[in-house]
Structure 1
Amino acid sequence: MASMNDKDYYAILGVEKDASSDDIRKAFQQKARKLHPDVNKEPDAEERFKEVSEAYAVLSDPEKRQRYDAMRSGNPFAGSGAPTQPGGYADPFGFGGSPFGWGPFGAATSRRRSRAYRPRAGADVVYELTVDAETAAKGTRRGVTYQRYVSCDACHGSGSVASDHAATCPTCGGRGSITVDTGLFGVMAMTCPECEGTGRVVASPCSACGGSGRTISASEVVVDIPAGSHDGGEVRVAGMGNAGTNGSTAGDFVCRVCVPEERLSRGQVTGFNLIGFGLPFLALGLLTSSLSANAVFLVILFVFGAYLVARDGIRLAPRWWRNAGVATLNGLTNGLVIALFFAAMFSCTMRPMMGFYY
């Protein structure tokens, strides 16, 4: 068996040495379809298929590709580290600038299109509609224009122009993974790049949607906001969210009502949390006659909390005060748990805790 150094994996796949990850992947898919033993009955088809799979297993992995290129160039140590970075230091991880693989070969750099048949329900589209308190109380009807994934007209959402049914992946035989003996790197089990692990592929991918069964389009919907609505209320329109992939069900359009007069800002939520947090310590100080010892701690909590609340403006709407009470109660609950925990723990040892003495 020829060693890895003797094999030109680029020539086997029919790509240039500077080919991108997408080019390598597409080349493998094309050759794998033609050479798979279930399709190609030539005597050497199976051996050639294994060779193509071996080439892809090495060239599709950035680190293995770097080491392969280094060995082919006659410098077996060139692949042990990454090129020097602009700042003058070397990247010991070999990922081209990021220890997590976010570089020229990173998974986050491109969105790949494939034949994978993966039916998934569409996600909801959430839209925030801002109205004043008077409009929310009376109710209103609003038209909304937005973008979403819709079912592809060319393939009617199936992803395939010739057949509505998925086919067994010819590369992995429906297993979802392939095993490749790379020689130097040993035997590797990897997710099948043809079906991306699903075991099934779109029979004849639609050129309009790339086989997903959906495309991006502008849509319109009329939303009825009922009378008596408040900040945070939701109105749901079924089926008007993102279309699912490969004919799956669509999500909903969710209109979330925003009433500024009733909404607490983030700073106000924090302020009421701080005020609520200090209340159990205030009560505990009064019960144990140790309030003076914790005066500084409580003053900081209450003053800073009041500042955050007043900074963004106090509203008169009843719902605003209701939300303020909820935020204060959340802070009070947290403060009560902590105050009781430390009080119980230190009361047994008679040691001071935060100025309270038992």
Structure 2
Amino acid sequence: MAGMNEKDYYAILGVSKDATAKEIQKAFQQKARKLHPDVNKEPDAEERFKEVSEAYAVLSDEQKRARYDAMRSGNPYAAYSGAPRQSPYAGSSSGFYTSGFGGFPFGGVWSSQRTRGRGGQAFNPEEGADIMVDVDLSPEEVRSGARKAVKYRRYEPCDHCHGSGSVSSEHAHTCPSCGGTGAMDVDMSFLFGAGVFQMVCPECGGSGKVINDPCPQCAGSGRNQVISEAVVEFPAGSHDGTLVRIKGLGNAGTNGAAAGDLVGRARVAAERLGDRARQGFRMVGFALPFIILGIVVPSFRLLALVSLIPLVMGVMAAGQEALSHRSLTWWKRGATHVVNGFANAVFYAILLGWLSSCMMYPRMMPFGYW
């Protein structure tokens, strides 16, 4: 989700930057009543309601608002006035958390990095995603195996902070906005009797931890995007769609988490079914049960004759591609689609046969005579 300094909470609520607490509460009440999911059924109403609630959760708290203004102004020390201040909401039923951090509003360098729009101040270790690359192979390379060099874009651990995301601190700190819970409470007892509404903390993204001094190279994420090269080795006997996994060469995880894998996927044109051929094989399979039904049940011979049309069309569609594909794997995949089409049509063929027998012998109907 977007960070606190990446959103204009004043604009979201429709108030000025010097608005009083009462003006902020009044603006929130008006917007929340219109956007509440129980009242507004528009598709984006719930998302807009959460955004308005997030803005109110920050601007209605004295300390959170001061830190937010400091981030937006580019002065990380703007909200610092010596001794830490106690929030007027501390200990109230609203559930707002106080900073407990004392002093710097967002930890010096971290705040200034955020203000420049680089983000990354939330400490949220997540395992890196796998990266899949398609590699074209010829029939000869499929039979004998091949080593293929590939270039791909990935995230790698930041050299400056060694993947931690922090310049000097070895450990992340408790988020000052949510007190480490990863969530913020909005007191909405005045609105629809809803009580306390809980939302994901916009400062730490739900992790409950933040980095005070994010790395200037990776903005605290612990990774940077680069172009990498690797060699993917496909064993002999590979086929179209064969996957080769290389451990740890995918995207690096955030804040020191494990990296994902690089997955090479073989693409063999001689074995790949085109959309037209795939549809053709399915049409052949779908027509066969009705043709068989017409042979078994004389009253359905007309249906069998009509089913010859999709059968011929399917044969023509698959045949055009078959002229240039003589791979056994290609034919096996075509047969799989024939079976799938056949299985889909069997149900309808059995249903028609049963209805036909019921019309001929009404006593067989489960509800008596027609």
TM more than 0.5: yes
Contact 1:29 1:193 (8 Å CA) reproduced: no
Q: Which one of 191, 196, 202 corresponds to residue 193 of structure 1?
A: 202
SS at match of 2:277: helix
Contact 2:295 2:304 (8 Å CA) reproduced: no
Matched, 1:240 2:249: yes
CA deviation after TM superposition for structure 1 residue 180, in Å: 3.4
Change in Cα spacing, 1:328 to 1:199, as seen in structure 2 (3 Å) is: same
- d(CA) in 2 for partners of 1:190, 1:124: 30
Residues 113-262 of structure 1: matches in 2 within 5 Å? 113-181=119-187, 188-262=197-271
| Residue number in structure 2 paired with 1:10 | 17
CA deviation after TM superposition for structure 1 residue 237, in Å: 1.0
Change in Cα spacing, 1:174 to 1:307, as seen in structure 2 (3 Å) is: same
Matched, 1:323 2:333: yes
Contact 2:291 2:305 (8 Å CA) reproduced: no
Q: Which one of 278, 281, 296 corresponds to residue 287 of structure 1?
A: 296
Change in Cα spacing, 1:326 to 1:276, as seen in structure 2 (3 Å) is: same
- d(CA) in 2 for partners of 1:35, 1:346: 84
Provide Cα deviations, 1:300-326, integer angstroms capped at 9, x if missing partner: 321221232134453111111111111
Q: Give the structure-1-normalised TM-score.
A: 0.67
Residues 38-77 of structure 1: matches in 2 within 5 Å? 41-42=84-85, 45-47=86-88
Point out where structure 1 has 5 or more consecutive residues left out of the alignment: 1-6, 14-20, 54-110, 352-358
- d(CA) in 1 for partners of 2:342, 2:304: 18
Matched, 1:264 2:273: yes
RMSD: 3.6
CA deviation after TM superposition for structure 1 residue 177, in Å: 1.9
Count of aligned pairs between the two proteins: 275
Matched, 1:332 2:342: yes
SS at match of 1:294: helix
Change in Cα spacing, 1:170 to 1:227, as seen in structure 2 (3 Å) is: same
Change in Cα spacing, 1:156 to 1:317, as seen in structure 2 (3 Å) is: same
- d(CA) in 2 for partners of 1:36, 1:49: 18
Contact 2:293 2:304 (8 Å CA) reproduced: no
- d(CA) in 1 for partners of 2:261, 2:244: 10
CA deviation after TM superposition for structure 1 residue 117, in Å: 2.0
Percent identity over the alignment? 38
Point out where structure 2 has 5 or more consecutive residues left out of the alignment: 1-13, 21-50, 59-64, 95-116, 362-370
